[in-house]
Amino acid sequence: MSNISTVILAAGKSTRFKSTKGKLLQDLAGLPIISHVYNIAKKISGRKIIIVCNKNNIRELKSLFSDCIFVIQKKQDGTANAILAAKPHLLNKNFLVLFGDVPLITLKSIKKLINKFKSNKTSGSMIAFQASNPSGYGRVITKNNKVLKIVEDFKTNNEEQKIKLCNSGVLLVKSNLFFNNLSQIKAHNIKKEKFLPDIFEIYFNQNKPFSYVVCLEEEMLGVNTLEDYIKIDAIYQHTLVNKFIRKGVFIINPKSCRLSFDTEVAKGVIIEANVVIKEKVKIAKGSIIKSHSYIQGTVIRENCSIGPYARIRPSSIISKNVKIGNYVEIKNSIVGNSSSIAHLSYIGDTEIGKKVNIGAGTITCNFDGKNKHRTIIKDGAFIGSNSSLVAPIIINKNAKIGAGSVINKDIPAKYLAIERSKLKFIKKN
């Protein structure tokens, strides 16, 4: 596939997408929508990716994809002219056309398209799909298993409206012939746009028709509105969840669970209802993630119990046989083997050793108003309930902190530290 360049069309202004953030940059399972398309293109074309954008989104797209070639479609006048903007980078090449707002397309389908293109030695191949409701889609008219033409929905007659084979817009072509034929497309009388689908009939009349492959309709769904985005997000999550269920992960309420594109979960892990797992999370075998927990940027080792209502923030490592209980928040910390933080605690910028017991309401005070500081709690230490550890501080091996203490000095190994104000009794008048 090294001889195939990819063009990603991303010049649309997203006028129907009612959001302060452009549709291409909306998060889909931990990645911007267009990044899902880019990842497919990367596997096909390596560094030979051209993104057709507009003057308003080029800066953001360049910050995401530094290895791509960017061209601006100066005038928003159809897909034909969008591809024409990329012409200087596509001469004497085979190239694939993808859409930046169609994130569910799979590598399997693209490979199917490439194989069809190569096996039939055609000048072009395209992806079609069987639509459950074809209204709004261009209909693919075929003859002898080749594409005769594509009729846009508003042009269809009564018979053509019944056709359910629809155009995805995704195609693979030989550049020289394509651009020769592209120049023959005429602007539409109503919208004054050059419609790329008009090129199929041009090819057919030259006796060089397109071949086609049929893929799933959901792969070809595009994001035009917020409603589209919500639908596509649900499909993507359903796909992720089912992948892990087939692998042997017990997901108790699949519809309530959210995963990331890069989530790694071992066989036998239990995930209860309303769990959110964001990007860069790995969960090892034997662990259970209890309901309403939120995990991001974390490694969870074997046989851990997390939650319910736990939040584990990025750059954390939860070692083997650890218990993180309800309403516990952990940030940028390491929790050693067989340690317990059962409930109602904040642990930030902390290194916890093995077999440490953290009592309820414990807070590591890591921020002095200007800088963050580390707390180190060594093996076997016990931290009493409602204690505050003011960093930087070291609680040494097997030391104990009495409940309700505010500790701002290092505690030696095997010592008990208690810091409390004197109890006073004041008689009421």
pLDDT in tens, 392-411: 999 999 999 999 999 999 99
d(CA 65, CA 75): 23
What does the pLDDT look like over 22-75, one tens digit per residue? Answer: 899 999 999 999 999 999 999 999 989 999 999 989 999 999 999 999 999 987
Q: Taking residues 282-303, what's their average pLDDT?
A: 98
Dihedral sign from CA coordinates of 183, 188, 191, 192: positive
Tokens representing residue 101 in the block: 């707002």
* Sequence ranges of the chain with CATH classification 3.90.550.10: 4-220
d(CA 31, CA 107): 17
Q: What is the number of residues in the chain?
A: 429
Examine the pLDDT at 117 and tell me if it is beyond 70: yes
What per-residue confidence (pLDDT) applies to 126? 96
The closest alpha carbon to 257, from 287, 227, 279, 278, belongs to 278
d(CA 176, CA 179): 6
Q: Select from 1.20.90.10, 2.40.30.30, 2.160.10.10, 3.50.50.60 the CATH code of 227-417.
A: 2.160.10.10
What per-residue confidence (pLDDT) applies to 420? 85
Confidence tier at 15 by pLDDT (50, 70, 90)? low
What mean pLDDT value characterizes the chain?
93
* Sequence ranges of the chain with CATH classification 2.160.10.10: 227-417
d(CA 206, CA 119): 20
d(CA 413, CA 194): 78
d(CA 75, CA 88): 17
Beta bridge partners, 141, equal 149
CATH class of 4-220: alpha beta
What per-residue confidence (pLDDT) applies to 183? 86
Q: Which residues are catalytic?
A: 343
Share of the chain above pLDDT 70, in %: 97
Window from 115-129, 178-192, 202-216, 285-299 with minimum mean pLDDT: 178-192
What does the pLDDT look like over 306-343, one tens digit per residue? Answer: 999 999 999 999 999 999 999 999 999 999 999 999 99
What per-residue confidence (pLDDT) applies to 422? 82
d(CA 139, CA 116): 20
7, HSE (Cβ side, Cα atoms, 13 Å): 32
What per-residue confidence (pLDDT) applies to 289? 98
What per-residue confidence (pLDDT) applies to 75? 79
The closest alpha carbon to 204, from 260, 142, 136, belongs to 142
CB atoms within 10 A of CB 303: 16
The closest alpha carbon to 206, from 92, 124, 90, 126, belongs to 124
Share of the chain above pLDDT 90, in %: 83
What per-residue confidence (pLDDT) applies to 201? 92
Examine the pLDDT at 191 and tell me if it is beyond 80: no
d(CA 115, CA 112): 5
Residue matched to tokens 């409930």: 343
Q: Taking residues 175-189, what's their average pLDDT?
A: 85
d(CA 273, CA 257): 6
End-to-end CA distance of the chain: 89
- Angle at alpha carbon of residue 90, lines to 146 and 202, rounded to 5°: 30
What per-residue confidence (pLDDT) applies to 92? 82
What per-residue confidence (pLDDT) applies to 5? 95
Q: Taking residues 168-185, what's their average pLDDT?
A: 92
Helix axes 107-119, 33-45, angle to 10 degrees: 40
Examine the pLDDT at 193 and tell me if it is beyond 80: no
What per-residue confidence (pLDDT) applies to 20? 72
What does the pLDDT look like over 349-375, one tens digit per residue? Answer: 999 999 999 999 999 999 988 999 999
Provide the 3-class DSSP secondary structure of residue 153: helix
Q: Taking residues 225-229, what's their average pLDDT?
A: 92
What is the 8-class DSSP label of residue 367?
A: B
